[in-house]
Structure 1
């Protein structure tokens, strides 16, 4: 089992014990997406950390897009929940470069 998947499972257990409904629901959704990815195709397989990160990026993007759609439709409460779920998922992704860091890399 990949380290990232194990961390997700451990954090799910911690969130369940703390009765953190948002984190529990979000991590269950993410782990379900990881499992679905593992069993898709002709043969079930374990995902590597990079593949789990790809699933996390896809789920974070879904949450961002859903939050924008709910916000545009005037459903602020659901938009806030989707955004909060996206932040939980993003916490498991590596930090992205800031604009300043990117400019420095290109210039350097």
Structure 2
């Protein structure tokens, strides 16, 4: 489980005195705790690894946006800090599908549900997220789906 790996990484970073990694891992664990609190009232709770991957993917997206904004603003030191956090976060994500595999999955779903135009993009994205949401970057997949249907 990813959550166990995070807790082990926290202990390892404490023992090694790696303050940057420890801060990033603690940040991840805090976001997971927030998500757990949100899900207390939910009627259906997804699988634990799915929750963790979802939180990690959102954190990756936030870091990438921050890095681009910092670089545009000439704040290289802040961009480097965000990049260091991004590297730690990505280390806990499962191996992502390659672009070719993603295209193949999209084509399979497209033929399976009979999607033919951009009007069907929502249906394709829903099935894609349901089946492969933990191993696909959905923002990149969105562009690939649009290209496949366009």
Shorter-chain TM-score bucket reads 0.7 to 0.9
Q: Which residue of 2 aligns with 1:60?
A: 60
Unaligned runs of 5+ in 1: none
Distance 1:19 1:43, change over 3 A: same
Q: Which has the higher helix share?
A: 2
**Aligned-residue CA RMSD (Å):** 2.5
Q: Which residue of 2 aligns with 1:99?
A: 99
Counterpart selection for 1:35 from 30, 33, 36: 33
Moved more, 44-53 or 14-23: 44-53
- Cα distance in structure 2, aligned partners of 1:94 and 1:68: 24
Q: Which residue of 1 aligns with 2:50?
A: 50
Q: Is the 8 A contact 1:38 1:46 kept in 2?
A: no
> SS at 1:40's partner residue?
helix
> SS at 2:92's partner residue?
coil
Q: Which residue of 1 aligns with 2:10?
A: 12
Distance 1:79 1:73, change over 3 A: same
Which has more radius of gyration? 2
- Cα distance in structure 2, aligned partners of 1:88 and 1:41: 25
Unaligned runs of 5+ in 2: 109-150
TM-score by length of 2: 0.61
Q: Which residue of 1 aligns with 2:117?
A: none
* Residue-pair matches, total: 105
